[in-house]
Structure 1
Amino acid sequence: MIYTDLAMMAGLSTPCEVCEGKRFQAEVLEYTLGGQDISQVLTMSVERALEFFSEGESRIPAAQKILTRLADVGLGYLTLGQPLTALSGGERQRLKLATQMSESGGIYVLDEPTTGLHLADVEQLLGLLDRLVDSGKSVIVIEHHQAVMAHADWIVDLGPGAGHEGGTVVFQGTPAQMVQDRSTLTGQHLAEYVGA
């Protein structure tokens, strides 16, 4: 892209006339894998790329493994060439989680990882967190999403209000205990969510 600063007005971006926005010289684009050049691969979604790198002459197990982790954290809709600056905070956290899944770390701390996720993707994320816990990892999630709270093993509720009105542990226990207790605003909302 060519960026033009228009001083008092918003800047303008236009595709490069030489590469037509493909980001590569013509000589590079002559090389293909499975019938796709690098610019075509970079426009693939993670889900499509996972299929691409799992079949035929374009089968690359290392790429397949990485793409599977990205899909596992609910990022299957992102394109491979998408710049990091275009990702939300929740997407960046899940990207970091995907990269860390192959490491030997034992504790994961996530802050609002469901931000911007569709409910189906939240379910997928919960499944991933379950797999991490089942493999012996500790997962701490700071979250307001009721599906995540209902799914937790243990909840620590800080309050009694938000911001400067918070900071005190007002409840700790299982989601079932929180629903039964209903002594906090979070407990009341969680009870309503689970239909208790």
Structure 2
Amino acid sequence: MSELLSYSKKLIIEQSEELAIEEAKKDPRKFEPLYNRYFKKVFHLILNRVGDKEMAAELTSNVFFKALSNIQKFKFKGYSIYTWLFRIALNECNEHFRKTGESRLVVMDHSHYEILSEEIAIYGEEHKDLLKNALVKLKKEDLEIIELRFFESLQFNEIGEVLNISEGNSKVRLYRALDRLRKLMKVA
């Protein structure tokens, strides 16, 4: 019974989001509910990468400006518009780092540490700094997919949508990235 209720809620959210997208395509002022729903998530995603509130606010503004400007191109494929916004946000962050030469941050709270340490089979608070240092040493693509899965809690199909790859490829890339992370930590 609870599965049915969960499915019903998801269906209602998807239908209301799809309707909001179609309305925004007709009238840009109708984009506001989508903006209100996803602003905080996008802002925090960017803030966790750039570490500066003013810059995060500017980049978030760019994300929503680009989304609104290109809403006509958005095609609903059963995924939340959040995955599209997420892709735009990651591109904005990457462009920012290219232009400024700044390094991106890795923000990992205790829950992220617990989830990721369980996945790579390391335990104990003493490994937290080791894990964070190893994450920083990963290639950008490896870090990004680990963050999407373990810090942003995206499903594999959503990761595929964000990165414009198949669901199967997102699984393969994640497990390869985790192997490289284990090697950096010398955990086999």
Q: TM-score, normalised by structure 1?
A: 0.29
- Which structure shows the higher strand fraction? 1
* More contact order relative to length (CA 8 Å, sep ≥ 6): 2
Larger radius of gyration: 1
- Which structure shows the higher helix fraction? 2
